[in-house]
Structure 1
Amino acid sequence: MQGTSTDEAQRRSSTASKIIIGREEIERYGDSTIGEVLKRLPGVTTGGRPGRGGEVRMRGMGSGYTQILVNGERMPPGFSLDELPPDQIERIEVMRAPTAEYGARAVAGTINVVLREALQRRLNEVRVALASENDQVRPHLSWTRNDKLDDKGSAYNFTVNAMQNRQQDDVNSRSVTLVPDTGAQTVLQTLGHTSNSRKSLNMTGRLQFRLEDGDTLALQPFVVVNSGRSFNQFDQTQTPEVEEGPDHFNFNHVDTNGDNHSVMARLNAQWTKRLSDVSRLEVRAGVGRMSMTTNAHRDEYEDAALTRTQDDQTKSRDTSWSFNGKYTHQLENEHNLVAGLEGEGTGRQQTRDCLQNGSRCDYLLDFGDDVDASTRRVAAYAQDEWSVGKLWGFYAGLRWEGIQTDSTATNYNVSNSSSVWTPLLHAVYKLDDKNREQIRASLTRSYRSPQLNDLIAKPSVNSQYPCLTVDCGTNAINYPDRMGNPALRPEMATGVELGWEKYLTKGGLLSANLFYRHISDLIRTVTALEDVSWSSDQRWVSKPRNIGSAQTYGVELEAKFRLDEYLEQALPVNIRSNLSLFHSEVQDIQGPNNKLDQQPRYTANLGADYRLRSLPLTLGGSMNYTPSNTIQQTTLTQVSSDKKRVFDLFAMWSFSPNTAMRVSATNLAPLSYGTGSVSVVPARYGTDGALLSPAKIITGESTGRSFTLWQVRLEMKI
């Protein structure tokens, strides 16, 4: 079987296109991160080096296009899905098109992670694991306790995970600056290594009370504690050598070390009131806080002589609250009406202390190291889901959402507000009475709001080209200063989905899904030469901007089946495969690679597992492939990334129904992974026509090895 009947039933019955990943699928390969679980789904890619997890993206679209929820709630800034161990997850819901209830900030789609639920049975699960990557050992301990509280249906669940993560990586980057008119060429080479370690403790729980008249009350605490350290060193050489020049050439060796500590705590409450046989009221509320402290120290040397030191300490505190009220009413004519009101607020207070050579890092102007920012969101929605006969199902929804963002620092106040209306339509047509084959269609509006850091106008001067005096000079296009843009507008997207699904008799599935998005007011980070307040010379500044419109479309193909369903004499091997093809165009940028950020041409997955009949042994493996990618990011800059090919294998021996040993290997036959860029810098002329700076071509590349992660895990149900 490819999944539980409940998972399959939820996917079938949903009017909007949805994929359900239950506990069986989450545990199948023994993955250590959610990213590793999600990478095998149709159209899902992850950032970073192969085998490392990373930022999750649907349809290959970059940061912000995929809405990430935990129990239907957005997490505070700085939270990563990889901080949630798979042991704590009950199921993962992947929605390809937005719905009114889950929100419309989902241009690419929505991933909702549902934490472990309290069930009416006693359960003690213990998992002890030891993993190794590049000779770095990673211990991991997990314990889940589930039991009933009384005979009325009340129950609790508690899960705790403790782990230590160690990583070592190479640093190998190269930057070449070429002046075409003269043929002069400068090569900057950086070689070194990094070492990182992180300890984390994750705790989730759920107290579920059965009240009178069928009412329920659930409390769900969620705590994440992290502590990490890093040590980095690299050597930098320049050919030909320049005796006098910008400050970033005044060192040839750098040592850095740092530590960070963070604590996130959140408490959610959910009360469900049964108003009648056909009406229900559900109220959810949550409060949370996340505190983080980061310390960093940097020493720069030239020929073994210390030339500059820098110390940074950043403290931030995020507070959040949320409220959600939902009313559901079932009509006699098969209409299911839902209306809701939502509120959400986050606030950030950040302080920074910076010292260079023992003195404050005041780059000409006091930009203000302290930032106070807040975001408030209010939404209202209504939706109707109904059936017409046994074959047709329809969904119509309308959602309004308004967002207000404010930030203050020493010398500026910024306020940004936006509101959007998003109509949503979904339909499903069943091609047979047994509900084994159906067609889906959707027409939706969705949007992507600017991130808080994108709106904050506080400049950050590049440390490689610091601005210590009024005449600090021009920096380089590949070492820009950075700042936010308070005038950003949200991106709006019109989307179309068309899908076909066929459910097989032995638990398999065949599906094909077509999608299209037209995006207006596209946000992209653009580096441009600008007049700035912190220098008398123009500086290269990188900041997000609305640059026009774009469109993307593609097809997602999926096949999950048992081999003996098609080959009569074959073993009952479970096969999982998918292929997703993508295309996009940004209209205001010249082709041929004028695609959306980070979107590859395609991604493919193939996996299989089989439980032997003669032995209590299960074997399985998978292959994930994403090709190399080149994107014309702006008219001046092109970026590229290498292909990713990840092989995973596992073997699980079941000593008894309650005890098993799992051995797994992630990223077998590892490949080196690199990124690159090419920037064309036009010549600069003075007001008198004199040449200030010749035209240049700057190429950069950074490569590093990836490694195989070996893991042994003992799983016990006590």
Structure 2
Amino acid sequence: MKLALLVGAAVAPLLFAQPALAQSAQETPTTALDEVIVTGSPVFRNRTDDVVPTLSYDLEYFQRFEPLTVGDALRRVPSVTFLSDVLESDGVRLRGLDPGYTQILINGERVPGGDDDRSFFVDRIPAELIERVEVVRASSANRSGDAVAGAINIVLRDAYTLDGGYIRGGAILFPDDEVGGTFGAVYGGEALGGRLLVGASVQDRRNPKDKFSQRFDRPGGTLDNTEIQTDVRDGTDYSFNADYSVEVGGGTLDLSGVFVRTDRIQDEDSIEYRGGRVQNADLLTINDNDVDIQTDNLSLRGRYEVEMLGGETRFKLGYASFDDEQTEFENEAEYLRDAIAFPDEDRFTADFEIRDLQDEEWSGALEHTRPLSDTTEIEFGIQAVQKDRDSVTRVADRVRFNVPNAPAPRPAQPPFVFSTSTYVIEETRIDPYVMLSGEQGALKWEAGLRYETTDTTIAGVDNDYAELLPSLSLRYTLNETDRLIASAGRTIRRPRFNDLAPVTLEEERGDNDFRGNPLLEPETAWGIDVGFERRLGRRGIVGLNVFYRDVTDLIEDVNTGLQGSGGAGTFIESIDNVGDGQVYGVEFDLSTPLTVFGLENTGVFLNASWLDSQVEDALGERRFNDQSDYVVNLGFTHDIPSWQAAFGATYRKQGDAFGRVFAEEVTTRYGADLEVFLEKRIFSNAVLRLTGINLLDSSKDEVFDKFDDQADQIARDYDEFELETESAGPVFQLVMRVAF
């Protein structure tokens, strides 16, 4: 039914479109053989003609390292950091900022995410679907303004991408010696009077990690307890995509769809010991925590483009949904509540929760572009989005009972008694815009105004606002090799949904409760980017960019001073617009063959970003929470045409991140990551690749400073000081691609 509605709406413009000349021919599709066989020369980032500062990376830039997801691929581009577990790449932190500051686009259109900050986890998209990835550093009037840090545009393959097909199959050896599989197939060609591309993939994903925690009464103080934990995340991703393009009625009709399903089990088991003694006599607790997750992402798009009214008109309609179902249980057994140690259990606790989140978005746009002169054109339009989110949570009352000492029988576990909570979010956005662009000699420019209106209803409470977002970008060509790029504009970050809900969530912030604030205003930011780019030889490129963001109406946690549900010493926290902040940094990227040294088949790349920010809270000055201070990627590829082979490596290091909220602080450090690949063409139409990931056994180390309240935090009167380290071993993948 949804597909029928989409097709009908996309075809509707044919009924009233004026006659027009046929569209100009599309680019010649890449043959499947050319896409599978990429040996012969290194692949670098593209030098785009966009006026807005944009870094573009084709699939070939990532493909040789065989990333499983878009998140894995993004680990090689400038200024992208993650605050994920080891071997996980989910929420993009462009320029080190929270994922809510980064706009994730698919084919230039925003996509709904399951998190309450509207962010989209890029590990939901298999890398096999992408044609290229663009890092868009500044805003434009014809795109959504939710891009304080910038935007990541994931361009999927379309019907004109590929001529022919290929099959990808292989095996993955995970750190715990389990073996998984990966399979994909893509085909593109003429069909049904137009061009059609279809693709599908199935791939196993497994991430087994070991964690070790030590908890002290204060830094350098007494060791209270240790915890040994295993965390295994095991699942399978399924995807299907299709794109159809046809000339009809004097215009071009494009229909596309993507479906991705993630089935995943997260199994955490931990054992806690008293002091530093790992022995049965000091066993405190055994904990078993499992989460069963099924997530479906669906995106359907229709676009009709036709020459009319003296220019080009585009009609767009889209439907996207996010359906996330999670079932979680946690069982804990305690052993030292009396003097009798293991194996006699003293108390048993069980928790059970079922969560179902359904997010749907309908989007539409009417856009028109026409020339004003030989050197200037105008684009204007209106874009609209209707979001509906339904969340249902069923939480069982905690089961807890004491267990008598043996030989008395262990009591039977009573049945769970559930309570259900629901909330509904409705949000409507209507965003008109106008944009002028032109070219005068060596200067290309773009200037626009976007007016974003937002009407949100959550838990029956309205939150409405509107913001005017101007933008300006310039590109000046100095000579055949050098150019300057500059941009300035205003962007927005909307409040998290949970932050708007005027309900009190018990023990949501540690021991403290949390109550949302329906009167929150969005954060806005004025920003500038200034960059220099030079072409090196025929294929190399080097760039340097400086950026600055001035953020106003910063949204931060505050303490209401009201007593929380936990009694004396606990509080009700809330959230408010508390002030301003600044974000700034320097970004460098280089990719070039070493032709000057006679090594034209060797390519090197380096991108390095130095990131900083400033914000004031009750304890003084700090960075934006969890912003890494730098990220560096360094690598090379070397082709051996006579052997029809290639090899290469990448090294990545992300700097420390610090976060401070009410009564808790955390410092996060990551180890370095090394990946390598070996590639051999084995037939005229087939290539075999061996890749190794996390070859340095990277670890994630966290330091937690915990306090009872903010007064103790200021006085440094500790409740607990914790050191936690998480590690995982290498992953190896053997993949064959065969073109047909």
TM-score above 0.5: yes
Give the aligned partner of residue 65 of structure 1: 101
Find the partner of 1:509 among 525, 541, 548: 541
Give the aligned partner of residue 486 of structure 1: 518
Task: State the distance in 2 between where 1:456 and 1:256 align.
Answer: 28
Runs of 5+ unmatched residues, structure 2: 1-40, 115-119, 336-344, 400-413
- In the TM superposition, what is the alpha-carbon distance from 1:626 to its structure 2 partner? 1.3
Q: Is the 8 A contact 2:81 2:628 kept in 1?
A: no
Q: Does 1:646 align with 2:673?
A: yes
Give the aligned partner of residue 608 of structure 2: 579
Q: Does 1:656 align with 2:693?
A: no
Task: State the distance in 2 between where 1:543 and 1:95 align.
Answer: 34
- In the TM superposition, what is the alpha-carbon distance from 1:571 to its structure 2 partner? 5.0
Q: Is the 8 A contact 1:144 1:159 kept in 2?
A: yes
Q: How does 1:460-539 map to 2 (within 5 A)?
A: 460-462=505-507, 478-525=510-557, 528=559, 530-532=561-563, 534=565, 537=568, 539=570
Task: State the distance in 2 between where 1:174 and 1:479 align.
Answer: 20
Give the aligned partner of residue 202 of structure 1: 239
Residue deviations 1:202-244 (CA, integer Å, cap 9, x gap): 111101111142x011111221222222332212345599xxx
- In the TM superposition, what is the alpha-carbon distance from 1:87 to its structure 2 partner? 0.9
- In the TM superposition, what is the alpha-carbon distance from 1:590 to its structure 2 partner? 4.9
Give the aligned partner of residue 430 of structure 1: 477
Q: How does 1:624-635 map to 2 (within 5 A)?
A: 624-631=652-659, 633-634=660-661
> Which AA in structure 1 matches 2:470?
P
- SS of the residue aligned with 1:26? helix
Q: Does 1:36 align with 2:67?
A: no
- In the TM superposition, what is the alpha-carbon distance from 1:162 to its structure 2 partner? 0.8
> Which AA in structure 2 matches 1:582?
L
> Which AA in structure 2 matches 1:313?
I
- In the TM superposition, what is the alpha-carbon distance from 1:284 to its structure 2 partner? 1.1
Give the aligned partner of residue 229 of structure 2: 192
Give the aligned partner of residue 271 of structure 2: 235
Find the partner of 2:693 among 657, 666, 672: 666
Q: Does the C-alpha gap of structure 1 residues 534 and 323 become closer, same or farther in structure 2, counting only changes over 3 Å?
A: same
Task: State the distance in 2 between where 1:2 and 1:331 align.
Answer: 42
Give the aligned partner of residue 709 of structure 1: 731
Give the aligned partner of residue 96 of structure 1: 137
Find the partner of 1:603 among 620, 631, 636: 631
Q: Does the C-alpha gap of structure 1 residues 75 and 543 become closer, same or farther in structure 2, counting only changes over 3 Å?
A: farther
Give the aligned partner of residue 288 of structure 2: 255
Find the partner of 1:169 among 187, 205, 209: 209
Q: Does the C-alpha gap of structure 1 residues 35 and 266 become closer, same or farther in structure 2, counting only changes over 3 Å?
A: closer
- In the TM superposition, what is the alpha-carbon distance from 1:424 to its structure 2 partner? 0.5
- SS of the residue aligned with 1:103? coil
- In the TM superposition, what is the alpha-carbon distance from 1:26 to its structure 2 partner? 3.0
Q: Is the 8 A contact 1:589 1:635 kept in 2?
A: no
Q: How does 1:367-378 map to 2 (within 5 A)?
A: 369-378=421-430
Q: Is the 8 A contact 1:271 1:284 kept in 2?
A: yes
- SS of the residue aligned with 2:495? coil
Give the aligned partner of residue 468 of structure 1: none
- In the TM superposition, what is the alpha-carbon distance from 1:580 to its structure 2 partner? 1.1
Residue deviations 1:558-607 (CA, integer Å, cap 9, x gap): 11111123x2x345311111221122111345556x00122222211111
Q: Does the C-alpha gap of structure 1 residues 146 and 596 become closer, same or farther in structure 2, counting only changes over 3 Å?
A: same
Task: State the distance in 1 between where 2:467 and 2:223 align.
Answer: 49
Give the aligned partner of residue 377 of structure 2: 336
Task: State the distance in 2 between where 1:345 and 1:416 align.
Answer: 15
- In the TM superposition, what is the alpha-carbon distance from 1:495 to its structure 2 partner? 0.6
Q: Is the 8 A contact 2:662 2:709 kept in 1?
A: no
Give the aligned partner of residue 379 of structure 1: 431
- Relative CO higher for 1 or 2, CA cutoff 8 Å, sep ≥ 6? 2
Q: Does 1:453 align with 2:486?
A: no
Corresponding pairs, count = 664
Task: State the distance in 1 between where 2:236 and 2:269 align.
Answer: 22
Task: State the distance in 2 between where 1:517 and 1:270 align.
Answer: 34
Give the aligned partner of residue 261 of structure 2: 225
- In the TM superposition, what is the alpha-carbon distance from 1:199 to its structure 2 partner? 1.9
Q: Does the C-alpha gap of structure 1 residues 647 and 591 become closer, same or farther in structure 2, counting only changes over 3 Å?
A: farther
Q: Does 1:414 align with 2:436?
A: no
Q: Does the C-alpha gap of structure 1 residues 571 and 317 become closer, same or farther in structure 2, counting only changes over 3 Å?
A: closer
Task: State the distance in 2 between where 1:578 and 1:662 align.
Answer: 25
- In the TM superposition, what is the alpha-carbon distance from 1:317 to its structure 2 partner? 1.9
Q: How does 1:70-85 map to 2 (within 5 A)?
A: 70-78=106-114, 79-85=120-126
Q: Does the C-alpha gap of structure 1 residues 683 and 210 become closer, same or farther in structure 2, counting only changes over 3 Å?
A: closer
Task: State the distance in 1 between where 2:557 and 2:173 align.
Answer: 37
- In the TM superposition, what is the alpha-carbon distance from 1:272 to its structure 2 partner? 0.7
Q: Is the 8 A contact 1:354 1:360 kept in 2?
A: no
Task: State the distance in 2 between where 1:541 and 1:250 align.
Answer: 34
Task: State the distance in 2 between where 1:122 and 1:443 align.
Answer: 40
- In the TM superposition, what is the alpha-carbon distance from 1:525 to its structure 2 partner? 4.1
Residue deviations 1:439-492 (CA, integer Å, cap 9, x gap): 0111211111112233223333339xxxxxxxxxxxxx7544444332322111
> Which AA in structure 1 matches 2:299?
R
- In the TM superposition, what is the alpha-carbon distance from 1:109 to its structure 2 partner? 0.4
> Which AA in structure 1 matches 2:654?
T
> Which AA in structure 2 matches 1:394?
W
Residue deviations 1:99-121 (CA, integer Å, cap 9, x gap): 11122211110111111110286
Give the aligned partner of residue 313 of structure 1: 354
Instruction: Normalising by structure 2, report the TM-score.
Output: 0.84
Find the partner of 1:618 among 643, 646, 659: 646
- SS of the residue aligned with 1:696? coil
Find the partner of 2:157 among 103, 106, 116: 116
Task: State the distance in 2 between where 1:192 and 1:380 align.
Answer: 52
Q: Does the C-alpha gap of structure 1 residues 546 and 124 become closer, same or farther in structure 2, counting only changes over 3 Å?
A: same
Residue deviations 1:396-432 (CA, integer Å, cap 9, x gap): 1101101222122xxxx32212211111011111102
Q: Does the C-alpha gap of structure 1 residues 444 and 299 become closer, same or farther in structure 2, counting only changes over 3 Å?
A: same
Give the aligned partner of residue 117 of structure 2: none
Residue deviations 1:53-76 (CA, integer Å, cap 9, x gap): 232121111221111111222222
Task: State the distance in 1 between where 2:684 and 2:512 align.
Answer: 58
> Which AA in structure 2 matches 1:653?
K
Q: Is the 8 A contact 2:225 2:276 kept in 1?
A: no
Q: How does 1:542-553 map to 2 (within 5 A)?
A: 543-553=574-584
Q: Does 1:140 align with 2:182?
A: yes
> Which AA in structure 2 matches 1:600?
S
Q: Is the 8 A contact 1:577 1:605 kept in 2?
A: yes
Give the aligned partner of residue 399 of structure 1: 450
Task: State the distance in 1 between where 2:354 and 2:319 align.
Answer: 27
Q: Is the 8 A contact 1:51 1:708 kept in 2?
A: no
Instruction: Normalising by structure 1, report the TM-score.
Output: 0.86
Q: Does the C-alpha gap of structure 1 residues 430 and 608 become closer, same or farther in structure 2, counting only changes over 3 Å?
A: same
Give the aligned partner of residue 689 of structure 1: none
**Stretch of structure 1 that moved more, 576-585 or 163-172:** 163-172
Task: State the distance in 2 between where 1:120 and 1:577 align.
Answer: 28
Task: State the distance in 2 between where 1:91 and 1:174 align.
Answer: 44
Q: Does the C-alpha gap of structure 1 residues 2 and 425 become closer, same or farther in structure 2, counting only changes over 3 Å?
A: farther
**Stretch of structure 1 that moved more, 316-325 or 227-236:** 227-236
Give the aligned partner of residue 554 of structure 1: 585
> Which AA in structure 2 matches 1:82?
D
Runs of 5+ unmatched residues, structure 1: 242-248, 464-476, 686-692
Find the partner of 1:700 among 717, 722, 725: 722
Q: Is the 8 A contact 1:50 1:645 kept in 2?
A: no
Q: Is the 8 A contact 2:208 2:728 kept in 1?
A: no
